[in-house]
Every structure is written in C-alpha cells, then in structure tokens.
Amino acid sequence: MTVETALEHARRASPLKKYEQAVEHYATALELQTKRHGEDAPETANLYFSYGKALLENAISQASVLGKEQPENGDEAEEKPSVNGKGPILSFSGDADEGVDLFGQAAIAEEEEEGEEENGEGEGEDGEPEDDFNAAWEVLELARAIYEKGKDEDDEIKMKLAETYIALGDVSLETEKFDQAITDYSEGLALKIDLLPISSRQIAEAHYKLSIVLDLTSGRLSDAILHAEKALASVDARLAELRDGIDGKLFPAPSQETKADKKGKGKGKGKAVGSGVHADSVRNLTKSQMEAEIKECEGLQEDLALKVEELKTTPSEPTESAPAMVARALDAELNAKPVSVPGQPAVVNDLTSLVVKKKKKATEADAPAKRRADDGDGDASPTAKKAKLEEDVQS
C-alpha cells in the first residue's frame, strides 16, 4: 500500500458515505506520509486535514445511528443532522457538477464486503462517536498548527487554514461547545473574507454556520440575525453573478499577475484570491452548470429568508435569572398601592380583625387615675396636687 493508493481508496469511500473505510485509508496514508516526511512537515498538513474531516463525518454518522435525527432521504448527501432541534444545516457546497464514479462504487462495495468478513462484529468497538469527535479535533488542530506557520507564504495555505478553522467549528458545534465554535467560525470567516468575493458560497456558508451557533448561545440573538442576513446577502450576490454569467455580462477574469512585495520579490497570489479565479468562481462554470446552480441558490435564498424571519420573531431572552424575576414580581405584588377610581371610594383592606389584642384587667390602682383623668386633673402639676391635698385636710 502506498500513500497515493490509500488516498485514492479514501477519496472514493467518502462520497459514498463509507466513512469508516475512509478513516482507515486516510490513517494508512498518514502513517506512511509521516514516516517519509515527519509528523510536523508541511507535506502532512493536507493529510491531517482530510483525516480529521473523515473522522468528523464518521462521528456524525455514528451519532445519527445512535439516535440523533437523520436527514431526509432526498437530501442525505447535502444536509447534516439537526443540532439541538434547530433544523438541518443547509448545504452551500454545490455538487451538481460532480459525476458518479461507477468503477469506484464497485471497488468500494468489494472492500466493504472484505472488511465485514475480517472484522466480524464490525461496529462493536469503533462505534463511539465521542472518540471520533475528540480524535477529529486533535487531528485538525495538528493541521491548523502547520497551516498557521505558512499562511503568510501562500494564499492556498491561508485558504486551507480557513477551511480547517471551519472544520474545527463543526466539531465544536456537534459537541455543543458553542463558545469554541464561535471562535473558530469567526477565524475561518475572517480569512475567507480576505480571500474570496462576497458572492462566494463559502462566504455564505461561513456566515450561516456562525449564525446557527450564535442562535444556540444565550444573549447572542442579534448577532445570529446579523450573520444570517449576511449569508442571505451573499447568496443574493451569487445569484446576480450567475444570471450575469447566463446573459454573458461577466467581465473576463483578470490574469494572475505577480505582485512585488515591499522587498521587491515576486509573490504569486495563488488560486484562492478574490479576483474571480477561486475554486467556486462562476467563470469556471458552463452554462448548464450555471442554470443548475441558479435553481439551487434560489432554494437557498428562500430557506435563508425564512431563517432570518424565524430569528427575528424569536422571543427575546430574559436578562435576569428566574429566581430574581420571581423575587421582583413578589416584591411588586406586596408593595402594590391601591388604585383609586374617580367617583368610587378607595378600597382599603382592614386588617384589624386579624390582630389579636391582649386585654388588661382594671386594678384598684388604676381606678383613681382613670377617675382623675375624667375629672380633668390628669395634667395637674405636683405643686397643684399638694395644695389641693392640704385644702382637703383642713376642711
């Protein structure tokens, strides 16, 4: 088995959703490649990325088998399972121009039969999606670290770094680590915006995925709406460009010119520049492909418009905790003032009947005092009391 042979088998397995076989073949290719070049060599970055993506796809597939919601049969190849009940993730990749490799299908079918005979139980020990999610994260992180070192040398490496960030975001989204997903999607989106035009479907996809994870994050609804609107604007721009292409109104693609840097050295811009020569440029499509993509983008446009409306009608999230809300409502109820209606007496709640009074027994000492109060002498001064006493004695 050579690296090239293993890669060929893996690339045939993935489109046919033979993810376990794809993982095995990518692992074989990576093992051979690292023996040849070393684990941190630039030559291994692409294999790390492909292997990580295969691990992610296999984990998602296993998770759906273990009970997560599965996509509709008609859209299986283009939609992932829903995340937290938020509906299927839309596909922006556009695979209408990819043919079906019948010879590859036959070869994969034979390999699958051989694999089942060798493994016996099959999925018994390898069916834990969490392990594949963790492995996917670690492998994609290795790819990211290598791409990060060379991102300033070549725009193709910079684009691979952007795709790696998006894949890392996918892992975090599937494992519900939403804060990390926001970070990775934002990094990937920033790189793609620097490299691609607004009409690129990759820009729309990155905005859309970011809106999904922001919608799942408390307090980020307004940001989710913003990115959903930007995804819709990107699809609108794509549709306009496709229609111009059908009508022959597109300007010819500019030639790739070598630009001199500040030191005077030439630096090629690569294939991923936003000059119209990127991989998903409309200029690369035939007229029939443009017509097919127009129908596809019209569907995306409708779905995104509905998504924006759905987000805008989502109830605002409370800004305080439930206990605080209950305490505030109770306090307001207890301290509520009676409302007076003109022409009607104010309603006063008489609570005296609820108060238990303790009666005092009248004593002999209390009687003179009470009487004196009745006689109006309660407020007499001590001198006046003494004079009155002497007067009584003399009499």
Q: What is the full DSSP assignment across 229-274?
A: HHHHHHHHHHHHHHHHHHTT-PPPPPP-PPEE-TTS-EE---S-ST
Question: Does residue 239 surpass a pLDDT of 90?
Answer: yes
89 is written with which tokens? 């993730």
The residue-averaged pLDDT of 68-87 equals 43
The residue-averaged pLDDT of 247-269 equals 53
The residue-averaged pLDDT of 180-188 equals 97
123 is written with which tokens? 């999925």
Picking from 301, 319, 330, 317, the residue whose alpha carbon sits closest to that of residue 234 is: 301
Asked whether the whole model's pTM tops 0.85, one would answer: no
H/E run at residue 74: none
Question: Does residue 323 surpass a pLDDT of 70?
Answer: no
The residue-averaged pLDDT of 289-311 equals 94
The residue-averaged pLDDT of 186-204 equals 95
Question: Does residue 341 surpass a pLDDT of 60?
Answer: no
Picking from 195, 389, 176, 216, the residue whose alpha carbon sits closest to that of residue 311 is: 216
pLDDT (tens digit per residue) in 136-178: 999 999 999 999 999 888 899 999 999 999 999 999 999 999 9
The residue-averaged pLDDT of 263-282 equals 50
208 is written with which tokens? 């859309």
Cα distances from 264 to residues 25, 37, 253, 267, in angstroms, run: 44, 32, 26, 9
The residue-averaged pLDDT of 260-274 equals 42
Question: Does residue 70 surpass a pLDDT of 60?
Answer: no
Q: What is the pLDDT of residue 280?
A: 76
The beta strand positions in the chain, using DSSP E, are 259-260, 266-267
Q: What is the pLDDT of residue 39?
A: 86
259 pLDDT band, cuts 50/70/90, is very low
Q: Give yes or no for a contact between 91 and 170, defined as CB atoms under 8 angstroms apart.
A: no
Query: How many helices (H) and strands (E) are present in the chain, helices listed first?
Result: 13, 2
The residue-averaged pLDDT of 222-246 equals 95
